[in-house]
Amino acid sequence: MSAIALKSLGRCDCVPTLAAMQDFTAHRHEDTADEIWLCEHRPVFTQGLAGLPGHVLLPGDIPVLPTNRGGQVTYHGPGQVVAYPLIDLKRAGYYVKEYVYKLEQALLATLAEWGVTGHRVPGAPGIYVQLADPFAHASLTGPHSPQDPFRGLGKIAALGIKVSRHCTYHGVALNVAMDLEPFARINPCGYAGLQTVDLSTIGVQTSWQEVAEVLARKLQIYLAPRG
């Protein structure tokens, strides 16, 4: 099968995009080609199925959108690359847990293109960087413990998915150069005080388009069907 098709949506609202993903998934069949949708959303907080209202602190003028993805509340806005893989997992030959691992690997590989070392935190989907030195290659040791898993870390990418009839939608969001203030209006992904960063604030100067192209390429590689 050829590479997963890419579809660029540009800057768009979250509500019609979610509806389009649900429609695509509901009507796809065994011969429907997989796609990856790339976009940049207008400001919105999205709440996952596990989301608690108390984690939305002061939304202000930014709408809060309930969704059917996993996870808690996060923020989407200009300067953030959002990728929605629409993948038939049964045909691709891997299960949900491996799919999540592959999404995170694609994010890690994308950051590595700019010399940034991303990290996983057990039990907290997404990708994190060490604030003291985002370019250090050392693994997470020392102060990172179950009691304080985010000490010294900033979250740079979020992940939330939905699987229906073995087919995926929703996806990942990687922060490039955005207004980070709205993240202070929530407990990001349900964690009070979790710092959120983007490539710009850790010293990487690049464009939304360049990051989108690299992330799309990495997703095509990591999400390819088993040969």
Q: What is the CATH number of domain 5-222?
A: 3.30.930.10
Residue 59 pLDDT: 96
What beta strand segments (E) does 165-201 contain?
167-175
Which is it for strands 153-164 and 124-130: parallel, antiparallel or unpaired? Answer: antiparallel
The Cα-based distances of 69 to 51, 66, 115, 186, 207 in angstroms read 10, 9, 31, 18, 28
Which SS3 state, helix, strand or coil, does residue 145 take? strand
Map out the domains of the chain as residue ranges: 5-222
Evaluate whether 160 touches 85 at the Cβ level (below 8 Å).
no
Query: What is the distance in angstroms between the CA of the first residue and the CA of the last residue of the chain?
Result: 9
* Residue 39 falls in the annotated catalytic set: no
**What is the per-residue pLDDT across 164-198, written as a single tens digit (0 to 9) for each?**
999 999 999 999 999 999 999 999 988 888 999 99
Nearest CA-CA partner of 22 in 33, 14, 30:
14
Predicted local distance difference test score (pLDDT) of residue 18: 97
Q: What is the pLDDT of residues 40-87, one digit of tens each?
A: 999 999 999 988 999 999 999 999 999 999 989 999 999 999 999 999
Which of 14, 39, 167, 189 is the catalytic position? 189
Report, in angstroms and rounded to the nearest whole number, the Rg of the chain calculated over CA atoms.
17
Q: pLDDT tens digits, residue range 116-171?
A: 999 999 888 999 999 999 999 888 765 555 567 888 999 999 999 999 999 999 99
